[in-house]
Each structure stands twice: as structure tokens, then as C-alpha cells.
Structure 1
């Protein structure tokens, strides 16, 4: 990583003209938030030479009481949710320097290889170098900031006041802080506050807020322990993600409908076979007037198969809100295989399901999880050239279920494998690259993880790990 970052910076004019000569202090961080270097303005600001910071986590540059908050903000930047904020960094001569920090991503050849933090001092006269008015860390934040201690809310910035649906801070301070959260999230919030009291940093967690005007709001909440005004406090960040969730649901539903369209040819063939049988038996009965019991048994079986396929297709295509319930994973996998086995047969691909251990129940949104599994299985089928086999292996390990989709297709080159999951990057001749992106998000929303393993000529394995229903 260091070599990649080093060569990426020093290969062009960026290092000389933008970074090194920048009037403001600028730190370059690797993908884990560790300082790679700093420009000359950093040394003027904090008194340390650039080599003094090399290999140091960025948040350790902050004064002790601000480190957890800076660590949280750095993590947000790494996750692609960078927000400007104010804090205090430690000078070499043992005094604090109030600063404003903004993160951005550093790209080389289109790939994110690190981050840079632009640091601007807030002057002792209460204004920064641009002459703007003074700011506190909380007041400048574009997120809702809440200071909570001793079972009571003590402060919220203007973003937080607006987020809560209050008209002014005094009104909000009269409301119990926990009443802002939906009852089904209260155990999680209470656990978070307890963990923060014990010195942990928690989050981000997805919650549902109940504003004071009664409106519901999707949000992400993170919290850390901080010393504020000399008192141990819980520093809470709340971000409105309603618009982002709506965009994600739109993307997910769009990909779902596209997936249904792609399945249509195989489904049509699958339904045509039993319809042909039914048509034949009806013609026999009309011609000869025969009413053999075995005819009705076969016809009933064929109709049941058509009904199963159509129902699965309708459930998959129909947009709906996420509903997590205990489900049998074995049954879920069987339904997925039912939808795709005809397409597999047409491509001369065999699908084999192997249960290595007994399967426990999992808590999931059945519709969304099916969508992800169909994507994995369909990708495996399409990776075959002429014929092949896909093995779906299921096993239970401690408190997690492992599902592996193993194909013996042509495999994926390492440089392509690292990019899989990026929007609009695909190894297919026709595709958007959104299928894997959506599927990964579905797995992560279930508290699971997704791992891709592949090599040219050796096939591809998609490994999904999901928590067992407690």
C-alpha cells in the first residue's frame, strides 16, 4: 500500500504543485487512516517534521480528549461519508491548536489509494484565517451533534435541533433524549450508551427517529466517550439517511426488476413444459372421454409447479419494505434453485446443493436475500463456457451460517476481482455491475459479510456469512 501511495503521488505534478506547495496544512493518509506524510504547512502549524508523523494514526494528532471524536470522523471519511468538523490538534510545544478539518479522497488511475486532510487553524481571536466567525466542533458539523451525560441531554447543535423537529434548543432539552428513538430501537440505544460509558466507541448503527412533530426519520447514529467542559460525556452523532435509503431502495428495486426480466426466458421455458403436458392430457380426455385418475394427479402436479414458479417470480419482483423474520435457509435456497434450474439446464450447467451440517433458522428479509442469492447463482451460470457445475455448500459455524456458491467457470483476473462490486464495472459483455453492488448491500444489511475468491481457469467462489437467528 505504501509503495502504491508513494508512486501515485510522486508520479505527477500533484505532489509538487498541489500538496507540497499548498498554503494550508495538508496530511496524506493511507486507506486505514494512518499518516503517510504532511506538507511544510503542517510543520508550521504543529511544530513536528513530516517524518515524525509517518505511520501514526491520524487521530493521535489530536489532543487527548478529542481523539475518539477525530477517530470517528476519520472512519466516516474512510467509509466515503466525509464531513468537515472542528477539533484541537496537539502542538509539539504541548499546547492545543484549534483547527477546522476537511477530508477528501486521493485517486490514482481511477482507484482510491488514500485520503488527504486539509487542516485550517482557527485563530486565537475567534476567527480562522479567512476571517469567518468562530465555530465550535459541534456547531460547524453538518451532522446532528448531541451531548448526553448523567441520563440527560445537555446540548445539541442546530443541525441536531432541526433533525429532532424542534424549533429551538431549550424546547429539545425538555424532552427525554431516549424518546427521540422508535421503541424497537431502544434496547440498542440503551446498550450503546452503556458501552460508551465504559469507554467504547459505538456505531454507526441504523435507527428510526421519532421527531417531535411526529414524523419518522431513518438515521445513522454513532457515539463516543469524550470529556466536555471537564465532565465525562457521551458525544453522539446522528445523520439523516432518509434520502440515501430511498435512493438505495430505488436502486435495489431497479436491479430487482432487471433481474426478473433476465429470468423471463428461462421461466417461460419452465412454464411451457407443464403447459404442454396439460394441453396433451386435456386433448386426450376430450378425444377419448377418458378420466383416468393418474391424469388428474399429473395435471395437478404440473399446475402446482407453475403456481410455485409464478409466485416466486411475483414475490421477487414486488417492491416492499424490509421485513426481517425467522426463515428456513434450506427452503429459501431450494426456491432459488427452482427459479434458475431451467436456465442452468439450457446452458448445460448442473446445480448441486450440499448441506454439510444441519441448518439453523436465520433472521432475514426473505425477498431481499433471494434476490442476492439469485444474483450469485446467475453469475455462476453465465460464467460457464459450454457446460459446468455449480455447487452450493451450506454449513453452520458457531453462531453463523456459511453459504458458498462455487462454480468451475473461467475465473476472474486479480485486477478485475478487486473492482467487482463497483457501480458500472462488470466482466460481462452486457451488464451494469449493479447486481453485485446491490447484493453486497443486502448481505451487509443482514449483518453478514461477502467474500469473493477467484483465479483465471479455476472458477469463482462467492462466500456469504450470515448470523444465526437467536
Structure 2
């Protein structure tokens, strides 16, 4: 990856036109957030020669009290959610430089190999009444920024005031900060704030926010701790993700309906088998009047199987809001296998489930997780040519459960593997590429991770890691 980054940035025209001629400071970061190189404007802005900052994490360029916030913003960018923000970087002559930073992704040969950090100086001498410039930095941020200290909200920028549904900052300061969150979200928010005050690094939370005007919105919340004027202070960043959530739900529901259509043939075949058995036993009983107990046992079993299949199909077809509850992962996997077992048999594919350790309960949205697992299993079945085997392995690792879908199909070339998950990119003759994209979103919404491994002629592995306590 470093070679790709190096070849991309050193390609003559790009290097001259972008790095040498750009008037603003432009840093290039690798995928770990480390500074790789920068243009001459970087030295003009901060007073450091390139060899002094090359090879160090980007957030270490910030003044000490801003570093954790910059680290969080860099992490957001690497996770595909870059947002412009304001902070203060350290100059070589021991003074701070207020700046506005924008991230973008750097591609070479079709692969994302690094990130741009475009840094623009904010020219202002304004300070608040306490002499603290922190408020001035957050005022021009495009995100809702809340400064929280000793259990009390002290400041919010205009974006934050708007997100909170207040008409003025003073009105927002008059209500407890906790009132902004839905009651069922408060335990998570309180736990996050306690951990941040202890200096821990916490992951962003997706929560429901109750604005002061009564409107309910979806929001992403993250926080970090900093020392400002000698006092421990929490920066709380809140993003309104209502529109993003609606778009995700629309995409998920569309993909659900597409899945139902794809499964229809297999479901019809699966139901026809027990119906044939039921019809045969009824005709036998009508013909000779025999009513043996074993007949009723078999008929009840077949009816139960039909009911299970129909219920599973209805669950996938019916759109609903996410509902996280404690669920048995073993049962969830069993239901998914039941749905696709017939299609696997028709394609001469054997599905084997291996529990490598005992499975704990996990907190999840069962229906959404089933949708993702069906996508992974169905992709594995369709990857087989003639016959094959799919092994689903489940195990616990520390405080997470790992589910691996391993097939021995043809595998995926490296140049295609890097693009999987992009909308409308697919290796199938008839496909949209949305299935994996939706599934990845579902796993990320469960605070999990998704990894794809493949080699030509050796098959593909999809590895899902989920937190036990969600």
C-alpha cells in the first residue's frame, strides 16, 4: 500500500500541479492516519520542515488539548464519513494556528490508498470573555459541537443550537443536557461521558435525539476529553443523520424485497415437499380409514416446517424500524440455513455449521442481521460451480463473536475484491452490487466489522465480528 501511495504522489503531473502549486497547505496521509508528505504551503503555515513531521500521526500536529478531537475526526474520515472541522495546530515557534481542515480520499489505480488533509488558516483575533479561543474554533464548525464540563453544558456552536431545536444558546443552556436524549438512550450516553472523563477512547453512538421543539431525530454522538484552561472538558460532537438513516432504510427495504423475489423459487419448492407428504397421508387415511399415531406426528412436523418457512419469509418482506434486543445467535443462524437449504441442495452445495465455542446472547436487530447473513450465504451458494461446501463457523473472541462464511468456490480476483461493496459493482451476471453494500451497513450499525478474503481457485471467506453486548 505504501508503494501505491508513493507511486501515486510521485507521478510527475499530479505532484507538480497539486502539491507544489496549491496555495493551501495539503497533507497526504496513509490509511493509518500517518503523515506521508505535504506541499510547500505546509511549512509556510506551521514552520516545520517536511522531514520534521513526515512519518508521525496527523493529530500530533495539533496543540495538545485538541489532539484527541483531531484523532476522532481523522478516524471518521477513514471510516468513510469525512467532515470539515476547525481546530488549532502547533506552530514551530510555540504558538497555535487556528485552522479549518477538510479530508478527502486519495485514489490510485482504482484503490483508496490514503487521504488528503486540506488545511486553511482561520484569520481571526476574536476571543470570548474568558480568553478561551476554543469557542471561536467550534463556531465555524459544520457539526454540532457542545462543550461540557463538570456535568454541565457550558457552550454550543450555532450548528449545535440548531440541532437541539433551540432558538438561542441561552435557551439551550437553561435545560439539562440529558434532556436532549431519548430516555432509553440515556444509560449509553451517561456511560460514554463517564468513560470519556476517565480519558478512555469511545466509539461513536447512534441515538435518538429529542429536540427542544419536540421533533425526534436520529443523531451520531461522539465525545473526547481535553484540558482547557487547566480544567477537564468534554467536547461532544453531534451529527444529524436523519436523512442518512432514511436513505439506508430505503436501501435496506429495497434489498429485502429483492431478496424475497430471489428466494421465491426455493421457498415454493421447499413448501411443495411437505405439502405433497400431507396430501399423501390424507388420501391414505381417506382410502382405508387408517389413523395411525405416526401419521399425525409426521403431518404435524411437516405443518410446523411450512409455518417456519412462511414466517421467515414474512419477516424479510415486512419493513420495520431497527429494534435491538438480546437474541440467540445459534437460532438465528439455524433459521437462515433453513431458508436457503433447498436452494443449496438444488445446486448440490452442502451447508455445514460449526460451533467452535459456546455462543452467548448478543444484542442485535434479528431481522436486519438475518438479511445480512442471507446475503453472505446466498453469495457463497451462487459462487459454486457444480457442487461444493459452505462452512459457517462461530466462535467467541474476548468480548466479541465471530461468524465466518467459508466457501470453496472459484474465488475473486484481487482487483475486483477491493471494489466489492460499491453500489452497482458486482461479479454476477445479473446483480446490482447493493446486497453487500446493504449488508456492510447493517453490520456497521451493529458496531461490528466485516472482512472479505478471497483467492482465485481457493474460495472466499466473509468474516463478521460483532460485540456481545452491542
Q: TM-score, normalised by structure 2?
A: 0.92
Q: Deviations over 1:176-217 (max 9, x none)?
A: 111211222222222222222223343311122111122222
Q: Which residue of the partner structure matches residue 129 of structure 1? A: none
* Deviation (angstroms), 1:303: 2.5
Secondary structure of the 1:203 match is: coil
* C-alpha distance 317-24 of structure 1, shift in aligned 2 (>3 A): same
Partner of 2:255: 255
The superposition leaves residues 402-441 of structure 1 with CA deviations (integer Å, 9 ceiling, x where unpaired) of: 3222222112223333332232222222222222222222
Where does residue 145 of structure 1 map in the other structure? 145
For residues 80-120 of structure 1, give each alpha carbon's deviation from its aligned partner in whole angstroms, at most 9, with x where no partner exists.
22222222222222222222222222222332222222222
Stretch of structure 1 that moved more, 287-296 or 183-192: 287-296
Quote the residue 1:403 is aligned against: 403
CA–CA distance in structure 2, aligned partners of residues 157 and 141 of structure 1: 8
- Considering only aligned residues, what root-mean-square deviation do their CA atoms show, in Å? 2.2
The one-character-per-residue Cα deviations of 1:319-375 (angstroms, maximum 9, x if unpaired) are 111222222222222211111111111111111222333333222221112111111
Q: Which residue of 1 aligns with 2:325?
A: 325
1:12 Cα offset (Å): 4.9
Measure the CA separation in 2 of the matches of 1:396 and 1:102: 39
- Name the CA distance, whole Å, in 1 between partners of 2:223 and 2:19: 33
Contact 1:401–1:465 (CA under 8 A) maintained in structure 2: yes
**Does structure 1 residue 37 correspond to structure 2 residue 74?**
no
The answer to whether residue 389 in structure 2 is matched with residue 428 in structure 1 is no
Structure 2 vs 1, CA of residues 41 and 251 (structure 1 numbering), >3 Å: closer, same or farther?
same
Residues in 2 aligned to 1:165 and 1:463: alpha-carbon distance in whole angstroms: 41
Farther-moved stretch of structure 1 (57-66 vs 228-237):
228-237
**Hey, what does 1:233 align to over in structure 2?**
233
* In structure 1, C-alpha distance between the alignment counterparts of 2:85 and 2:333, rounded to whole Å: 46
Shift of 1:292: 5.4
Deviation by residue 1:281-314 (Cα, 9 ceiling, x = unmatched) = 4445556666555544443333322222111111
1-side partners of 2:94 and 2:439: how far apart? 49
Which residue of structure 1 aligns with residue 111 of structure 2? 111
**Which shifted more, 441-450 or 112-121?**
441-450
SS of the residue 2:345 aligns to: helix
More deviation, 51-60/235-244: 51-60
Give the match for residue 335 of structure 2.
335
Alpha-carbon distance between aligned partners in 1 of 2:443 and 2:125, rounded to the nearest angstrom = 50
Report the Cα distance in structure 1 between the residues aligned to 2:221 and 2:208, rounded to whole angstroms: 10
Alpha-carbon distance in 1 for matches of 2:56, 2:419: 28
Aligned counterparts of 1:62 and 1:215: Cα–Cα separation in 2: 37
> Unaligned regions of 5+ residues in structure 1, if any?
127-134
Matched, 1:315 2:290: no
Alignment-derived partner of residue 132 in structure 2: none
CA distance in 2, matches of 1:290, 1:185: 60
Q: Is the 8 A contact 1:86 1:136 kept in 2?
A: no
Note if 1:9 corresponds to 2:1.
Answer: no
Figure out how many residues of one structure are paired with residues of the other and give that number. Answer: 462
Note the residue ranges of structure 2 that are not aligned, 5 or more in a row.
127-134
Change over 3 Å in CA distance of 1:74–1:398 after alignment to 2: closer
- What is the CA deviation profile of residues 386-414 of structure 1, one whole-angstrom value per residue up to 9, with x for unaligned ones? 01112222333443333222222112223
1:140 Cα deviation from its structure 2 partner: 0.7
Distance 1:402 1:99 in 2: 42
Indicate conservation of the 8 Å contact 2:98/2:137, yes or no: no
Is 1:368 matched with 2:368?
A: yes
Q: Which residue of 1 aligns with 2:441?
A: 441
CA deviation string 1:45-92 (max 9, x = no partner): 222222222112112112222222222222222222222222222222
**Aligned partners of 1:389 and 1:404: how far apart in 2?**
13
**Pair 1:222-2:202 in alignment:** no
Give, in whole Å, the separation in 2 of the partners of 1:213 and 1:385: 58
Matches within 5 A, 1:73-152: 73-123=73-123, 136-152=136-152
Secondary structure at the counterpart of residue 415 of structure 1: helix
Task: Note closer, same or farther for the CA distance 1:450–1:49 as it changes in structure 2 (3 Å cut).
Answer: same
* Cα pair 2:451 2:462 within 8 Å, conserved: yes
- Residues 239-318 of structure 1 mapped to structure 2, 5 A cutoff: 239-284=239-284, 294-318=294-318
Tell me, in whole angstroms, the C-alpha distance in 2 between the residues paired with 1:2 and 1:294.
68
CA distance in 2, matches of 1:465, 1:172: 39
Verify the 8 A CA contact 1:360 1:469 in the aligned structure 2: no
Change (3 A) 1:330 1:65: closer
TM-score (normalised: structure 1): 0.92
CA distance in 1, matches of 2:368, 2:278: 33
Return 371-380 or 458-467, whichever deviates more: 458-467
8 Å CA contact 1:390–1:407 kept in 2: the answer is yes
Contact 1:83 1:141 in 2 (8 A): no
1:383/1:230 CA distance change after superposition, 3 Å: same
